[in-house]
Structure 1
Amino acid sequence: MSVTTTYLSKTEVQSLLGVTAFDLWRITRKYDDFPTPEEDPGPFAAKDEETWDGTEIYRWTAKTPEFEHRGAALLRPLPDDLPPGKWAGYQDTPKGPALDWHTALGTIRLVHTSKDQAASAVAADLAQRGNPDGVTTVCALYGDMSFSGPALVAADTAHPTIEYEAQWGVVAQLAGQDLPWWPGLLRSAQLIRQWHPGAPALVAEVPASTRELTLRQAAANPAFDATAQAALTDMANDLRNDRVRSTEHDIEIFGRAFGPTPIVIAARPDTSTHPLPTADDRQVLTAGWKTIATSSHPDAVAALELALARDPRLLPFGALTRIALRPGTVAEQWTRRLALCDPTAAHAALAGDRPVDAFFIDPLTDTPALRTVVDGTPALRFYAPLALPGTGAELTSVVLDGTVWVKTSDGQVHPAPCTPNEHLWWGDGWGDKPSEAAAVINTLLDDLGAAVDLREHWKAPRGLTALLEKQAKPGPAEIARHALLHARMTTPPRSSYED
């Protein structure tokens, strides 16, 4: 969340301060700290019209004795003999559940949400309806922590379009008691409605996310075998565990971030079944996700998209690759081997919302691919394989064209394998080096069928990395096996960047 900036014209500043144009001129000369007009007044200001940041003006007004009664309500000095406030009950608002507090300042409505512009929206709604509840100020949660408690965004019903930051401690002081706070995942109207001063913290189940529900729906689908269902359930459980841990962490942070604060933790997560079981055997999970990736069921598509975002290393393919498809290129040679197929969940993830000409599968590596058109040019989208077939053949050359291609002694051509979170490139990386591609080539020179591991790709032979760094783009470049072997035996001088 953030404080929304509102710009005020000269006339609006005069109205806020209750002064004439001449008085405003006098004020700007009397007070050295009076906010200066905006250098860039924005697209909605009239030509040559002076505009001010409304929040700056409102804050300045509150701390200036001559005008403090017109300034931001929660930034004005509090009286020494402040009487205690009183809880005034629960309220529904257009932006979420709220609690009211009758205070010496007037009624403060605290909306328990961190939605953008929530304070301003609720204040404006009240003002438009004649403010039937007599609310002076609306507060909403900023989303992080300040030194006196959760940070707040406030908007007064007298000027509902102007938002400003307020202190939780000030509101607590006006209320005369510690204020209740709910962690984000337990910030529901149902729970907040049950609260009253002195109430113990409610223990409530952390609700499932949309992602978790999607995975559980797929796990209940009899179209998937037991291995796939186990993989889906495992990720759903992991998501739920994360949400419970996150809620516990929020309570720890907001409850005691800077020592004791005027906060009452109003709800805690039910941990009686936490944590839910998750599998340690990655191979079993990978087998399950392979089944899902090759399925054509809509539940598989939705689940696979979640897995790509959460843990792509569980999936049976590597990094997404996009290349232009031109006649006579190595990519065009590879496409001749591809077999047309019906789309799977992996193809659906590749396609997204793009038009597709045809779906393919590589019969040697099971790599999913599709042909589409980008800016009028045919293009291929595919997931790189994690490994190449272990047929006893060896790497004879690599071709750099769109991605790294591997030619082999048995006459085949393959896109080079790559792990999901890496990329294969070459040339000048403005300080970065093509060590991922060098690590892949180094592995395949010794064993064409080996699975590549790029977790420490920066340890690739420096000679191979330097050779790839010298390769210019664009245009294909083929490097023969003997040149690659020679390069990896070479130790180039270290650059100042490496030192």
Structure 2
Amino acid sequence: MSDQLGTSDIARLLGVSRPRVWQLRKDPTFPESAGRDEQGREYWYESQILRWAATTKRDLAARAPLLFRPASGQGAYYLGTSMVDGYVILNWDSELGRICFLYRPRGMEAGRIVHALNKLLPKTGADAMVGMDAGFHDAWGPELRAVDKAHPDRHYHPRWTDLAQLLGMPVPYWPSGLTIPREMARWRPGSPPLVLPPRHPALDTGPLLRLVSDSPDGSTVAAAALELARAIDAQAAMGARSDIDLLDEAHDREAITLAATLLQVEEAPDVEEYWLRDGWAQILKRTDRLAEDCVDLALRWNSGRYFPFSTPNHLDPERSAEAAEFISRLQPAERTAAAQVFDDWTTAGYWTDPATDLPVITTPEGEAWAATPQRLPAQSPLHTVILRDQQVWIRTSDGTLYLAPEDGDGLTWGYRGNGPTTLAMLLNRLLEDINAPAVRSLREEQPNPGLLRMAERVPQDEGGVFTRDQLISARNGN
């Protein structure tokens, strides 16, 4: 509530005339003005006026938010939790009416709290509904937003102390990552904090753990699935710890009770990358729904870091002879979990590239999309690089054509920027080792100056073809 209110604004807020406001200002309890505007006129903040009306003037109290009004101290009766539209609602029956505090198990998106309050207020029978505005913390603690049934168009910022004095008890606080509905239903006033394992608000690790339990002990599949589940849980734990630390710094800490705390688990040992890549390679070849769910989680978590491929590439045989050659060698295939990389695209057929065993789809419109390798399974060295139609192709000395490896920044040319820099770094790697991994980050190494100049000078529209000898010459500064 940062709007500056003048006399007319206060009159509208309280539903009285301007002369009445002038009379009220003579009351010694009337709040001091918050300052003067550029014209020298005094102004007040809405919260100042409403808090004063709630506690001082009985005939004006009805205009004030319910949570600003004083309570007798008899306390409220806790009614437990309910689920409404995917939200967990904590309910109290207080002397001033039904109070509801909402939580979203998947986490509240910043700025969405007002929408949630408006949506749930008429569905819960609440006289006042409260929730936290995610991502914002003020001096008193996690920032609260509230709305009353009596004034559904007005949202306000109560303090935790406001809510606690009405409830007659500290308000339960659930850190992010610990808002598990069945556990929240167990909480009762006065109970010690529940000790819970973390749960990511947006990613359900259940499919990964089911895959672990269904896989042989010691298998790479189990290792890959468990490593991802632990990584997701670790981020959830970090969020919960951050929330708890912030809570301990809050000025209103005594008005807040920690409803749940984090179960401490041993840090998982690192898993070798080759082990993870083997496990995901096996998962990607499966055709069951569980494997698809796990692949979807990996894509959402880190874009499939340990997959043998990265983002799909559009192939246009009319614009590129290389794309036509690539498409001509494809073989029909059944759908596997690897098809999740194509998201929810409408698909007419599934194919595989026999040179890389990577997935390709065709659409009803006849378009082809191929998963881009993260490294090439080639057996012979680089022979030629083809830059065509915004795609980079690699032909090895045995004549096999590949899409160039990508993982992160795209491969482009014809200007100064990340794309040509990434291309120069990749070409330098492939000259040394055809099986080298794609460039994940520009911080991994410095590009070769000669290859970088070449990549920056190739015409964007025309592209170009460069032999191994030409690349080596450019690398040597010739």
Q: Shorter-chain TM-score category?
A: 0.7 to 0.9
CA distance in 1 between counterparts of 2:324 and 2:156 reads 60
- CA deviations 1:409-467 (Å, max 9, x no partner) are 33332211223x332122336x5452111111112223334334443356111332232
Contact 1:124 1:160 in 2 (8 A): no
**Contact between 1:141 and 1:150, CA under 8 Å: does it hold in 2?**
yes
- 1:89-146 superposed Cα distances (whole Å, 9 cap, x missing partner): 225454533243746xx3471414155434344543466xxxxxxx653322223432
Distance (whole Å) between structure 1 residues aligned to residue 171 and residue 142 of structure 2: 10
Q: Where does 1:25-174 land on structure 2 (aligned, <5 Å)?
A: 62=50, 69=61, 71-73=63-65, 84=73, 86-92=75-81, 94=84, 95-100=87-92, 102=94, 106-107=96-97, 109-114=99-104, 116=113, 117-125=115-123, 137-144=128-135, 145-174=137-166
Greater CA drift, 85-94 or 65-74: 65-74
Are 2:142 and 2:247, in contact at CA under 8 Å, matched by a contact in 1? yes
Cα drift, residue 307 of structure 1: 1.6
Corresponding position of 1:291? 282
Superposition deviation, residue 266 in structure 1: 2.0
Structure 1's unaligned 5+ residue stretches are 4-12, 34-55, 128-134, 492-499
The alpha carbon displacement at 1:265 in A equals 1.0
- Work out whether 1:414 is the aligned partner of 2:405: no
**Counterpart position of 1:459:** 446
Q: Distance in 2 between matches of 1:252 and 1:405?
A: 51
**Residues 371 and 475 of structure 1: CA distance in aligned 2, closer, same or farther (over 3 Å):** farther
Letter in 2 for 1:462: P
2:342 match: 351
Residue segments in structure 2 that go unaligned for 5+ positions in a row:
2-9, 26-32, 35-43
Which residue does the alignment assign to 1:442? 428
Q: What amino acid maps onto 1:441 in structure 2?
A: L
- The answer as to whether partners of 1:434 and 1:468 remain within 8 angstroms in 2 is yes
CA shift for structure 1 position 214: 1.4
How far apart, in 2, do the equivalents of 1:224 and 1:344 lie? Answer: 24
2:19 and 2:400 mapped to 1: Cα distance? 81
Name the CA shift for 1:200/1:18 in 2 (closer, same or farther; >3 Å): same
Give distance in 1, aligned partners of 2:281 and 2:130: 49
SS of residue in 2 equivalent to 1:313: coil
Q: Deviations over 1:26-45 (max 9, x none)?
A: 99xxx999xxxxxxxxxxxx
Letter in 2 for 1:444: L
The change in CA–CA distance for 1:125 and 1:296 in structure 2 (over 3 A counts) is closer
Given the alignment of the two structures, is residue 226 of structure 1 paired with residue 212 of structure 2, yes or no?
Answer: no
* Corresponding residue for residue 367 of structure 1: 358
1:398 aligns with 2:386: yes
User: 1:254 maps to what in 2?
Assistant: 247
Output the aligned Cα RMSD.
Answer: 4.2
- The question of 1:471 aligning with 2:458 is answered yes
Deviation track 1:373-418 (CA, whole Å, cap 9, x = no partner) reads: 6xx5x43322222333443443233323231112333333221122
Q: In structure 2, do the counterparts of structure 1 residues 83 and 365 end up closer, same or farther at CA, with 3 Å as the change threshold?
A: same
Deviation at 1:291, TM superposition (A): 0.8
Note the C-alpha offset of 1:154: 0.7
**Percentage identity across paired residues of the two chains:** 23
CA distance in 2, matches of 1:100, 1:301: 42
The aligned residue for residue 497 of structure 1 is none
Aligned residue for 1:473, secondary structure, equals coil
Equivalent position of 1:214 in the other structure: 207
- What is the CA–CA distance in structure 1 between the aligned matches of 2:436 and 2:243, rounded to whole Å? 44
Deviations 1:344-367 (A, max 9, x none): 221x22433323344332223223
Could you tell me how far apart the structure 2 residues matched to 1:122 and 1:449 are? 56
Distance 2:52 2:296 in 1: 55
Query: Which whole-Å CA distance do the structure 2 matches of 1:197 and 1:450 have between them?
Result: 59
Structure 1 counterpart SS, 2:309 = coil
Kept in 2, the 8 Å contact 1:61–1:68? The answer is: no
| Secondary structure of residue in 1 paired with 2:367 | strand
Asked if 2 retains the 8 angstrom alpha-carbon contact of 1:136 and 1:157, the reply is yes
Q: For residue 496 of structure 1, what is the aligned residue in structure 2?
A: none
Task: Report the TM-score when normalising by structure 1.
Answer: 0.73
Retained in 1: the 8 A contact 2:92–2:167? Answer: no
Confirm or deny: 8 A CA contact 2:316 2:324 kept in the other structure: no
The two structures have a TM-score, normalised by structure 2, of 0.76
Change in 2 beyond 3 A, CA 1:165/1:448: same
Q: CA deviation at 1:305?
A: 1.8
1:442 aligned partner, one-letter code: N
Alpha-carbon distance, 1:242 to partner: 3.9
Contact kept, 8 Å, 2:195 with 2:262, in 1: the verdict is yes
- Residues 372, 403 of structure 2: 8 Å contact kept: yes
**Counterpart residue type for residue 402 of structure 2:** H
Rounded Cα–Cα distance in structure 2 between residues aligned with 1:463 and 1:438: 9
Number of the residue aligned with 2:476: 489
Q: Does 1:18 align with 2:12?
A: no
Name the residue aligned to 1:265.
Answer: 258
Contact 2:160 2:252 in 1 (8 A): no
SS in structure 2 of the partner of residue 215 of structure 1: helix
What count of residue pairs does the alignment treat as equivalent? 438
CA 379–441 in structure 1, closer or farther in 2 if over 3 Å, else same? farther
**Aligned match of 2:4:** none
